[in-house]
Amino acid sequence: ASRFSPSPAPRASPSAAIPAMSGQTAESKAEVAAPHAVKSQRLDHLLVAHAVLAAACGGAALLAPQFFGVFFTGDLGGAFMRWSPDEQHMRLMHMVVRLYGALILGQAPIAWVVRSSTDAGVRRGVAQAYFFVFVATALVLVKALLMEDFWRPSGWLNVLLFGGLATSYGWFNCFGPPSVFESVAKGMM
């Protein structure tokens, strides 16, 4: 054989293509987990956005329920003032807004913690629960906007918000592959 002729490339054994479980490098783990990570990160991003929005809206409802009057009056200026001459009615509205605000605020840590859970069943269960809650909320709001005379066009902003959340969680539940509910952390193990 001439020293200028190319030498044949060494043949890799079929088992060499599969990294050993104990000797797997960080790069090989990332390559294996990459498609899974992208799918799972979408749900993680939704959960983070939900947590931040729930903390902001729930906190605002607890601390300043009068700001939510804009959905009843349709007037931002009227939201800062009393929109009902009946003081008892105003106190009742503030109490209901605060109670709902507490429930919304409570969703923030749930969504925040679930995004890093490695239990696919928990992640799926929370996504299903949020889907049903937001569908029901959007339907109640639509009925109120169409049937009641105290709602104003600004109430449709709530329908868009809850309808958007229902659509997002519904997409993951109906069209997302099962790997969507597995966390990125689990894919890297």
Return the HEC string of the chain. Answer: CCCCCCCCCCCCCHHHHCCCCCCCCHHHHHHHHHHHHHHHHHHHHHHHHHHHHHHHHHHHHHHCHHHHHHHHHCCHHHHCCCCCCCHHHHHHHHHHHHHHHHHHHHHHHHHHHHCCCCCHHHHHHHHHHHHHHHHHHHHHHHHHHHHCCCCCHHHHHHHHHHHHHHHHHHHHHHHCCHHHHCCHHHHCC
pLDDT in tens, 143-152: 988 887 766 7
- The answer, yes or no, to whether residue 120 has pLDDT greater than 60, is yes
- The answer, yes or no, to whether residue 39 has pLDDT greater than 70, is no
**What is the structure's pLDDT at 158?**
85
Q: What is the pTM of this model?
A: 0.66
pLDDT in tens, 78-119: 555 554 555 677 778 888 889 999 999 999 999 999 988 888
Confidence of residue 182 (pLDDT cuts 50, 70, 90): confident
- The answer, yes or no, to whether residue 17 has pLDDT greater than 50, is no
Confidence of residue 183 (pLDDT cuts 50, 70, 90): low
- Percentage of residues in the chain with pLDDT exceeding 70? 65
**What is the structure's pLDDT at 100?**
92
